[in-house]
Amino acid sequence: MRFTILGSGSGGNCAYLETDDTRLLIDAGFSAKQIRQRLASIERSPETLHGILLTHEHSDHIQGLAVLCARLQIPIYCNRLTQDATEHALGARFDCRIFQTGGAFDLGDVHVETFSVPHDAQDPVGFLLRTAAGNIGFLTDLGHATRLVLERVRPANVLVLETNHDEHLLQEDTKRPWSVKQRILSRHGHLSNDAAAAVAEQVMSAELRQLYLGHLSRDCNRPELAHRAVATRVQQIGATHVRVETTSQEHRSPTFEL
């Protein structure tokens, strides 16, 4: 199994997973050109993709879909409400394979488990992708971690966890009106660095090896703040077997192999 975060931040999210039989994107929140360039940097191309999994319809998760799918007809895996909202937002129709939120399905040799997350979209989900080599959890875009969410990602060997903002930087930010700050901070907004640290502690297991910190706000966070908040907590609980790594919107992460 080879896993590469092509980019992650509040302005764009896209990851690539490859197993023996299956090649997938998880979200497509960069331009098609960017996605193509970043795939090329790991010697891959959109032409060989078997599908694109969508967490929800916000533009930082779907921006590249229209151009990518218009030419290549890559099937999209999402729930019905996300399909409707995505097609409406992009003014295009897609070849969608619909799953029920909370359900599971096989995509080639990847077993995809889906679960609901509290976020201000139509029907947002997280994923646990089970492969023969190990499990990858996706937990971004959520205002708080429910007991269900914690249970569903606990089998992960690799976890992508949202560290959206530093609470002080968000409070002091002068660009965002009060109402937007309230939305971000709400139970259906985004996880702060400290909230993510608490999630990391609650889902910790002997099997977790890699923790990616994702979806950082450009204005209201810094990679070193996110890393310090989570890595300190991981150290405090003695989980020295887990590697904590921040991700970037500007460039892809090194490929992780299991």
- Contact positions vs Zn ion (CB under 5 A): 58, 60, 141
Smallest gap from Cβ 111 to Zn ion, in A, equals 25
Smallest gap from Cβ 108 to Zn ion, in A, equals 26
Query: Residue 16 or 157: which CB sits closer to Zn ion?
Result: 16
Residues in the chain: 258
Query: Residue 13 or 157: which CB sits closer to Zn ion?
Result: 13
Distances (CA, A) of 179 to 101, 170, 176, 186: 29, 12, 8, 10
Query: Residue 18 or 60: which CB sits closer to Zn ion?
Result: 60
**Closest among 121, 120, 117 to 149, alpha carbons compared:** 117
Query: Residue 58 or 165: which CB sits closer to Zn ion?
Result: 58
Distances (CA, A) of 53 to 11, 16, 218: 18, 10, 25
Rounded CA gap, 143 and 185, in Å?
Answer: 7
Smallest gap from Cβ 66 to Zn ion, in A, equals 18
| Single-letter amino acid code for the residue at 234 | V
- For the chain, the farthest-separated pair of C-alpha atoms sits apart, in whole angstroms, at 50
Chain residue at closest Cβ approach to Zn ion: 58
| Single-letter amino acid code for the residue at 248 | S
Query: Residue 123 or 141: which CB sits closer to Zn ion?
Result: 141
* Rg, the chain, Cα only: 17
Smallest gap from Cβ 241 to Zn ion, in A, equals 29
Smallest gap from Cβ 27 to Zn ion, in A, equals 8
Smallest gap from Cβ 32 to Zn ion, in A, equals 18
Smallest gap from Cβ 65 to Zn ion, in A, equals 14
Query: Residue 58 or 252: which CB sits closer to Zn ion?
Result: 58
